[in-house]
Each structure stands twice: as structure tokens, then as C-alpha cells.
């Protein structure tokens, strides 16, 4: 519900689900779609590279567009050579993360999280790495912020030849002292699924500073063409999807700034002392606004059941169990323009 209390104070309707799309981009989207229609090239053409360049401009790392997060994860896992090896994975994540490793032929060992950031714990990671000698590891940036121990985990992986894949499925728009997700490890993979901070309905983006991995991923998404040395399948993004992605990534900083403004102005005062606190210099993309409480009015929890329980692994991960039972996510959706708002009010809210 939109509450207009004065000419300059408008509370936007952030509590009702909305796709992270700015209606002001509608006309430009239609023009880009017309461009694709007229080009007679609906796949493997310039819109995909324009989207990738726009992504690189935001992320600071070269990008490869894919049809989903899964395609990027499988490319990175195969590149790392995980078949028959162990991959470490936090249990507090979506099942996509361990399932990708299992599908790539690896055994998964689960790692506990911290209670303050919901992300992988360095102490438990170090113990599990000593015990299981993994070929690769996932680090998942839960909820839209960057995992607080990213640097420690990345340093350990670099020193011990562990291929580190950042699961950036939630991390659009995040930064930590100017550093973006995907630049800590060997690869970062974003999801553009329909509920994400910005979305193309379906889609994914892999970023990396390794030219070899980028080349591998370009082959992996396209049956290994032209040499067929890489045995990938079809994980291509269509030109129509890329047109939407191009607008979305250009609009992302504004979407994230809006969500942060609304969080500070309207949500923080409702949850004093119970919201997740970020370290200095970190900006969350606020895919989720996380509080350590059980709330009735929420979008539920980031995850209800840790993956080690879903898969029946006999391992004690007390923080993952604690987090599943002790947090909620009050809704925060991008909806800057609402019929009936005054312009003065909108300017104050956006």
C-alpha cells in the first residue's frame, strides 16, 4: 500500500512482489527488440556482446553471457577438472550450488556458515579443506552482500591450488570498498532468474580474469564450436534476452541505490538491533533484506533447509541450522513509480 503523508514523503509499495525492471526502459527495450528483429540474427550476434561489454563495465571483469547460472557453473567446474574430485560447498545455499558440482561428477562436502553474514565460515572451510583436499570450492554471497570472509578464503585457495568459484546469483550491485563480486576467486557466476535484483527472466553471466576460462566458457555454451575440443552443450543466451540484459545492467546501479535508500528510510527504523549489519565500505545489492528474527510479514527465509539436510549428509553444521531457524526477510521490491504518487514525493523517495 502506498502512503502519502505529505507532499514530499511517499512510502513506495516495496512490500509487494515486483520484477526488478524500470518501466522507463520499456520504450528503449521495444526499440532494441526491433533492432534484433530487423537484424535477422536472433542468436550469437552483437546484442550478446553489447550485454557482455555492459556487464564488464559494471563488474570490472570480462563477462560471458549464458542461458542460466547452471551453464556458467558447469563450465567453471569442468574447466577446473572436478570430475572424481571433491568440491567444498556451503550448506546454506540454494540446491543449485551442490547439484552443479554433483552433475559435473564431483563429490560434495559441506561447510558451515557464519551467523553474522550467513556465508561460508573461513574456520570451518580451512578444517574441511585440510580434511578433504578439494579440487574446487564454492563461495556463495548470500542475500546480496559479499561474504565477509571472501578475502581469507580466496587467499587460502590461491595458496593451496583450490579453484574458487563465487556463486554470485544474489550479488548483483554489491561492492566492498569498490571491489565487485566475482573478482575474489577464479570465476564468478550470476543468475538472471526472474526473482533476482535485475533479471532477464532466465539467464546467467560468468566473469573471470582468466582468458583461458573465458575462452573455455564461450566454447562450453556452444557445443565447443568451432574445434569441438570443449564438450559443452547449448547454454547460449538469445539476442532478445541480451537486449533486455543490456538495459537491466545499465539500470542496475540506480535500482540498487533505490533499494538501499528505501531500506535506510523505511525498513531500518522497523528493525533496530535485529537487521544484518554490514562491515564498513560494503554495499549490498539487497536481493534480500535480512533480519535475525521470525517475522510473519516476510518473504520467508533465504533458505528454509540447509543443503546438507536436504541431501542427507551426516555432518554437524550448527550455524547453518541456526541460520535456517533464526532469520526472516521483510519484502523489498523495486517499484519506484506508483500511480497517485506526487512527483515531489517520488523525487524524495527515489
Ligand X SMILES: Cc1ncc(COP(=O)(O)O)c(C=O)c1O
Shortest distance, position 63 Cβ to ligand X, whole Å:
15
Nearer to ligand X, 93 or 238 (CB): 93
Shortest distance, position 168 Cβ to ligand X, whole Å:
9
Q: Could you list the residues that contact ligand X (CB under 6 A)? A: 68-70, 93-94, 96-97, 140, 167, 169-170, 191, 193, 204
For residue 216, the number of C-alpha atoms closer than 13 Å in the C-beta half-sphere is 21
Q: Are 304 and 297 in contact (CB under 8 A)?
A: no
Q: Are 67 and 117 in contact (CB under 8 A)?
A: no
CA-based max dimension of the chain: 65
Nearer to ligand X, 95 or 337 (CB): 95
Shortest distance, position 175 Cβ to ligand X, whole Å:
19
Reference 243, options 65, 62, 19, 56; nearest CA is 65
Nearer to ligand X, 9 or 305 (CB): 305
Shortest distance, position 191 Cβ to ligand X, whole Å:
3
Shortest distance, position 206 Cβ to ligand X, whole Å:
11
Shortest distance, position 326 Cβ to ligand X, whole Å:
19
The set of residues, in sequence order, having a beta carbon less than 8 Å from that of 144 and lying 6+ positions away, is 170, 171, 172, 173, 174, 197, 284, 285, 286, 287, 288
At what angle are helices 26-39 and 239-262 packed, to 10 degrees? 160
Shortest distance, position 69 Cβ to ligand X, whole Å:
3
In whole angstroms, give the CA distance from residue 73 to residue 94: 13
Nearer to ligand X, 89 or 246 (CB): 89
Cα–chain-centroid distance for residue 294? 24
In whole angstroms, give the CA distance from residue 238 to residue 161: 35
Nearer to ligand X, 127 or 195 (CB): 195
Nearer to ligand X, 20 or 345 (CB): 20
In whole angstroms, give the CA distance from residue 123 to residue 68: 31
Nearer to ligand X, 193 or 266 (CB): 193
Amino acid at each position: 500500500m502506498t502512503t502519502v503523508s505529505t507532499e514530499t514523503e511517499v512510502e513506495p509499495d516495496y512490500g509487494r512482489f515486483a520484477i526488478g525492471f524500470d518501466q522507463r526502459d520499456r520504450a528503449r527495450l521495444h526499440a532494441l527488440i526491433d533492432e534484433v528483429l530487423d537484424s535477422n540474427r536472433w542468436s550469437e550476434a552483437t546484442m550478446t556482446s553489447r550485454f557482455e561489454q555492459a556487464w564488464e563495465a559494471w563488474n570490472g571483469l570480462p563477462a560471458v553471457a549464458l542461458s542460466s547460472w547452471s551453464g556458467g557453473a558447469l563450465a567453471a567446474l569442468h574447466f577446473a577438472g572436478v570430475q572424481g574430485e571433491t568440491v567444498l560447498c556451503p550448506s546454506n545455499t540454494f540446491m543449485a550450488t551442490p547439484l552443479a558440482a554433483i552433475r559435473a561428477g564431483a563429490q560434495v562436502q559441506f561447510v558451515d556458515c557464519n551467523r553474522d553474514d550467513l556465508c561460508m565460515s573461513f574456520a570451518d572451510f580451512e578444517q574441511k579443506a585440510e580434511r578433504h583436499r578439494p579440487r574446487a570450492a564454492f563461495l556463495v554471497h548470500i542475500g546480496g552482500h559479499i561474504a565477509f570472509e571472501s578475502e581469507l578464503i580466496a587467499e587460502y585457495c590461491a595458496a593451496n591450488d583450490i579453484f574458487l568459484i563465487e556463486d554470485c546469483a544474489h550479488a548483483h550491485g554489491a561492492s566492498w570498498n569498490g571491489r565487485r563480486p566475482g573478482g575474489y576467486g577464479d570465476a564468478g557466476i550470476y543468475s538472471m532468474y526472474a526473482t533476482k535484483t535485475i533479471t532477464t527472466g532466465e539467464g546467467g553471466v560468468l566473469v573471470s580474469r582468466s582468458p583461458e576460462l573465458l575462452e573455455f566458457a564461450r566454447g562450453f555454451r556452444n557445443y565447443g564450436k568451432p574445434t569441438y575440443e570443449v564438450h559443452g552443450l547449448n547454454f547460449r543466451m538469445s539476442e532478445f534476452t541480451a537486449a533486455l540484459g543490456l538495459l537491466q545492467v545499465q539500470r542496475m546501479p540506480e535500482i540498487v541505490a533505490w533499494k538501499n535508500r528505501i531500506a535506510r528510510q523505511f525498513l531500518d527504523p522497523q528493525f533496530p538491533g535485529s537487521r544484518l549489519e554490514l562491515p564498513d565500505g560494503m554495499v549490498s545489492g539487497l536481493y534480500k533484506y535480512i533480519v535475525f528474527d521470525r517475522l510473519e510479514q516476510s518473504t520467508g527465509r533465504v533458505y528454509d533447509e540447509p543443503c546438507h539436510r536436504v541431501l542427507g549428509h551426516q555432518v554437524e553444521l550448527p550455524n547453518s541450522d541456526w541460520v535456517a531457524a533464526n532469520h526472516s526477510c521483510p519484502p523489498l521490491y523495486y517499484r519506484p513509480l506508483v500511480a497517485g504518487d506526487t512527483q515531489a514525493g517520488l523525487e524524495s523517495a527515489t
